[in-house]
Structure 1
Amino acid sequence: MGKEMHYGDDYKYIPATSAGNGVGIEVLPDLFSFTVQIVNVFLVGNPETEDFVLVDAGMPKSADKIISVTEERFGTNCRPKAIILTHGHFDHVGAIIELVDHWNIPVYAHELELPFLTGKESYPEPDPTVEGGIIAKISPLFPNEPIDLGHHLNAIPDDGTIPHMPDYKWIHTPGHTPGHISLFREKDKTLIAGDAFVTVKQDSLYSVLTQAQEISGPPRYLTSDWKSAKASVRKLEALKPSVAVTGHGTALSGEKLSRGLEKLANNFDSIAVPDYGRYVDGRLH
């Protein structure tokens, strides 16, 4: 493993799972979603070529599974051109050092996310006091310290382009984290939303376990800027995506997506924002 890369001292396996664990779904011919315990990673690119990327990097200790799934789809000894991060929370970078070391590939993230990925700054502490279910109560167990990707990490181009994803543009969707991005392909209105919104009620243990579909705001216990989170959801709703994949939950498309996202955008305060919690300052408008 590259000596210049390291996880925070609090990195560890998290024994959480869901009904989707280990399930891979071809959402589109060039968009494959795979669930690692409670979070999704995405392989973007046509399996008939070797030109593809990995979006996000799963839970801690999941590298072997992600490599195996990647080789099943793209062939033995294949490797993505890059890893694109929607953000740097532990469940989206959990296996990234092992993956970078195995594939020797670059990583791209928004400039505002770089301090959390270069060992310089920890994210705000998870909020176990937030209104919600048991997942919020155990959130202090989640790794929070910054990781360091060394020279493998790059700021994503500031012109909206994404390396090795020529049809996509990135959109700054802060709130859940300062440098959170979503990825959008205009020609068929495909959206990779990260945790800007999710399609499962992530603070509910029952919903996480069963993966019951419900368009929700970003996970409450790790969201520290609700005003920005609301603006980001409205920005994504205005794109009128036809299909969306998110960091948690299953893919949605068509009317179910459009109606659910419109409802969330129009009623964000009552649906997404908790009534109380460390980062909640009254209702947002």
Structure 2
Amino acid sequence: MKWERIPLGPLQTNCYVLSSKEKECIVFDPGSEGAKLNALIQSRGLKPLAVLLTHAHFDHIGAVDEVRERWNIPVYVHKKEKDWLASPELNGSHYFQAGPIHAGPADEYIETGKPLTIGPFTLRVSHTPGHSPGSVSFYHEETRAVFSGDVLFKEGIGRTDLPGGDHQLLLKSIHDHLLELPEDTLVLSGHGPETTIQDEMDHNPFLNGF
């Protein structure tokens, strides 16, 4: 199995496509530019099985409906953010100048604390709130990667000044659910380059001394 990072939209939000040798795939956080993303998926000869959302901020959901409708696949989100897809006030687009962004309701609600299996993919799902109330992180053991959304970045952490943000809770989420992963785990963040758990333990100034 392999993953591909596809930065999309004005904020260059990282969408990820995790694919198997049989060309089945899962799409994480299709934030914008749905036509471009669908064309890329088609050019790779992939068959999407689901859209998984690390959280429902506007820059992570802008192409949800285009991808869902093109491939006729379900969208998963944590139940704490089930109303965010349709609400510019909740998903944050109301506060920015890009205009209101919304999507249809999710098809499935993510259950944390147990494996999520979709086709050939099995992911360990952890509830990692702090950046937003329903933020989740998806750990894929086979590729030794965690899709962390806006929880943890290379030498940074998610912002907590938007509605529902909580700085101390975010640090606790990182400590309890991400730093306990194997040190060579790749951290695939919602923005910017990948990093590893080891590198963040050693160099992330927000985590020193926590």
TM-score grouping bracket, smaller chain normalisation? 0.7 to 0.9
Whichever residue aligns with residue 122 of structure 1, its letter is E
Counterpart CA distance in 2 for 1:67 and 1:257 is: 33
1:11-160 alignment, distance < 5 Å? 29-37=1-9, 38-46=12-20, 48-59=21-32, 62-73=33-44, 75=45, 78-117=46-85, 119=86, 122-123=89-90, 140-142=96-98, 147-150=102-105, 153-160=107-114
TM-score normalised by structure 1 residue count: 0.63
**How far 1:190 moved relative to its partner?**
1.6
Are the counterparts in 2 of residues 161 and 169 from structure 1 also a CA contact under 8 Å?
yes
Pairing partner for 1:219 from 159, 165, 183: 159
SS at match of 1:87: coil
**How far 1:79 moved relative to its partner?**
3.3
**How far 1:100 moved relative to its partner?**
1.2
Counterpart CA distance in 1 for 2:91 and 2:30 is: 21
Residue deviations 1:190-222 (CA, integer Å, cap 9, x gap): 2111100123xxxxxxxxxxxxxxx21103553
Computed over aligned residues only, the root mean square deviation of the Cα atoms, in angstroms, reads: 2.8
**How far 1:93 moved relative to its partner?**
0.4
**How far 1:50 moved relative to its partner?**
2.9
Residue deviations 1:55-94 (CA, integer Å, cap 9, x gap): 11122xx011111221233x1xx43100000011111001
TM-score normalised by structure 2 residue count: 0.83
SS at match of 1:116: coil
**Higher RCO (CA-CA < 8 Å; seq separation 6+):** 1
Residue deviations 1:118-150 (CA, integer Å, cap 9, x gap): x36832768xxxxxxxxxxxx6325566x3423
**How far 1:251 moved relative to its partner?**
1.2
Provide the residue aligned with 1:196 in structure 2: 151
Q: 1:254 to 1:98 in 2, by over 3 A?
A: closer
In structure 2, the gaps of 5 or more residues are none
Q: 1:255 to 1:233 in 2, by over 3 A?
A: closer
Residue deviations 1:10-59 (CA, integer Å, cap 9, x gap): xxxxxxxxxxxxxxxxxxx511111114110001122x313210011122
Q: 1:64 to 1:148 in 2, by over 3 A?
A: closer
Counterpart CA distance in 1 for 2:26 and 2:183 is: 21
Whichever residue aligns with residue 154 of structure 1, its letter is E
> How many residues matched?
204
Whichever residue aligns with residue 113 of structure 1, its letter is E
Pairing partner for 1:233 from 166, 174, 198: 174
Provide the residue aligned with 1:266 in structure 2: 208
Counterpart CA distance in 2 for 1:256 and 1:228 is: 22
Are the counterparts in 1 of residues 153 and 192 from structure 2 also a CA contact under 8 Å?
yes
Structure (1 or 2) with the larger CA radius of gyration: 1
Are the counterparts in 2 of residues 123 and 144 from structure 1 also a CA contact under 8 Å?
no
Are the counterparts in 2 of residues 110 and 179 from structure 1 also a CA contact under 8 Å?
yes
Whichever residue aligns with residue 74 of structure 2, its letter is P
Counterpart CA distance in 2 for 1:228 and 1:63 is: 33
In structure 1, the gaps of 5 or more residues are 1-28, 127-138, 200-214, 269-285
